[in-house]
């Protein structure tokens, strides 16, 4: 299963959203990869994800293979479409300190 999502984070794919991607991927048995401009990263590798150098507006292709692929893809859809809510809430907390 495959899908493409736009990265709509102001600072692009940095450590916090990459960590959320890793945590989401770890919930599933399926093999999950992200691709940007021909470069591919395992969704369980934070360094691989950061190596994609995905800035705001980047199109990320997600490929999921395995027994729970539909559930995994649905989880990533929610993560991307919600704008990585834990990242935004953490950023707001830091701004108010």
Spatial distance between the Cα atoms of 18 and 54, rounded to a whole number of angstroms: 10
The CATH number of the domain holding residue 11 is: 3.30.1340.10
The residues annotated with a catalytic role in the active site are 14
Average pLDDT of the residues in 41-54: 97
Q: Is residue 37 part of a domain?
A: yes
Q: Is residue 43 part of a domain?
A: yes
Q: CB of 32 within 8 A of CB of 63? A: yes
79, part of any domain: yes
- Give the domain range for residue 83: 2-90
Our count of domains for the chain comes to: 1
Q: Which residues contact 87 (CB under 8 A, 6 or more apart)?
A: 9, 16, 17, 20
Per-residue model confidence as pLDDT tens digits over 50-87: 999 999 999 999 999 999 999 999 999 999 998 887 65
Cα Rg of the chain (Å, integer): 13
Measured CA to CA, the distance from residue 72 to residue 90 in angstroms comes to 24
For the whole model, what pTM was predicted?
A: 0.85
Task: Kindly state whether residue 95 falls inside one of the protein's structural domains.
Answer: no
Does a structural domain hold residue 32?
yes
62, part of any domain: yes
């Amino acid at each position: 299963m495959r899908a493409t999502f736009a990265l709509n984070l102001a600072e692009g794919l940095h450590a916090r959203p990459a960590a959320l991607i890793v945590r989401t991927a770890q919930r599933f048995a399926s093999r999950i990869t992200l691709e940007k401009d021909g470069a591919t990263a395992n969704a369980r590798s934070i360094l691989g994800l950061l190596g994609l150098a995905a800035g705001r507006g980047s199109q990320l292709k997600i490929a999921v293979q395995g027994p729970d692929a539909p559930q995994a893809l649905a989880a990533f859809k929610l993560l991307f479409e919600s704008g990585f809510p834990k990242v935004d809430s953490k950023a707001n907390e830091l701004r108010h300190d």
